[in-house]
Amino acid sequence: MKFDDKVPIYYQIKTYLYYDVLTGKLKPGAKLPAVRQLAVDLTVNVNTVQRALTEMIAEKTIISQRGKGNFVTEDQDKLAQLKEQLVMSQLAHVYDQLHRLNLSDSEIVASLQRYIDQKGAPQDVERISD
Amino acid sequence: MKFDDKVPIYYQIKTYLYYDVLTGKLKPGAKLPAVRQLAVDLTVNVNTVQRALTEMIAEKTIISQRGKGNFVTEDQDKLAQLKEQLVMSQLAHVYDQLHRLNLSDSEIVASLQRYIDQKGAPQDVERISD
DNA sequence: TATAGTGTAATAGTTAAATAGAACACTAGG
DNA sequence: CCTAGTGTTCTATTTAACTATTACACTATA
């Protein structure tokens, strides 16, 4: 996995797992890969995986059972709440950043709409073959 | 100044200065505060300020003149281009993150619009993502 | 030419993140 | 009971970021 060297790896692993949980790739009650396996998959040390998990366990997003494995919480309300928080924090962040750049509320929405509209449209990349 | 302990301080200073430059708080050709003054203002070490500046100088966003001071570039095209890049990277980032959470294009725009509309009532959401 | 104000560089020490490796604690199944 | 698979903890080491401090290089000006 590719990591951003500006953010601690354990923190990026936490984010990575959040997305797996919140998108249902890991469903409520599902067993996570073993910590040693995750460490191999992510090409990091077991302790780094454990550090990420320890925080998620403290938050009760992950339920740890010694000798058995780590499991996604079955509390669906909690998961829905987490997803809402995540969406909101993303929106708040982008809003703040663009607002700081002096874009008005309507310009912010318009620029996002424009980005989405043009996203699929052909960029000016060089065409190599058909 | 408040710093996010998940990101290197020198990098946050760089971002901070970018915003000052791109919003015109520091106009093209303007002299920046002295490095020692910036260090005091931001309550960090001079070397940390210098590290941020060194990168911006390498990019020619800041022009350094030994004995005189650091100055914002007068190349307005460059500044406009930087601002466009910054806006686009913000939009791309939030789009990708929300898309990963299985929100459709229209849901993404709608959620932003909803956030702006309801912005008056502050939530205290914990920042989860990078 | 002396001095204050500026950027720049170098050294040394502290801390947090990450690694490697080992050991310990518990569970399930043969 | 033994063993393989699991989570958990600990020690030691390395590296990057940050700090403190000092010194050097250059500019303007009194």
- Residue pLDDT, tens place only, A79-112: 999 999 999 999 999 999 999 999 999 999 999 9
Smallest CA-to-CA distance from B15 within B41, B44, B52, B63 is with B52
Smallest CA-to-CA distance from A55 within A25, A98, A17, A101 is with A17
Which parts of chain A sit beneath pLDDT 50? 125-130
**Quick check: helix, strand or coil at residue B46?**
helix
Q: Residue B1 CA to D25 C1' — how many Å?
A: 31
| Residue contacts between A and B (CB atoms, under 8 Å) | 104
Q: Which phi and psi angles does B54 have, rounded to 5°?
A: -55, -40
Contacts of A4 in chain B (CB under 8 A): 130
Check residue B128 and give its pLDDT: 55
Give B117 to chain A, closest Cα distance, Å: 9
Locus of tokens 């953010």: A7
Residue A50, CB, less than 7 Å from strand D? yes
Contacts of B94 in chain A (CB under 8 A): 90-91, 93-94, 112
Query: Considering only residues 26-85 of protein chain B, which place a Cβ less than 7 A from any atom of strand D?
Result: 43-48, 51, 65-68
Domain ranges in chain B are: 9-74, 77-117
Mean pLDDT of B80-89: 95
- Closest CA in chain B for residue A22: B101
Does domain A9-74 fall under CATH 3.30.70.260? My reply is no
Distance CA A2, CA B19 (A): 28
Q: Is B124 a residue whose pLDDT tops 60?
A: no
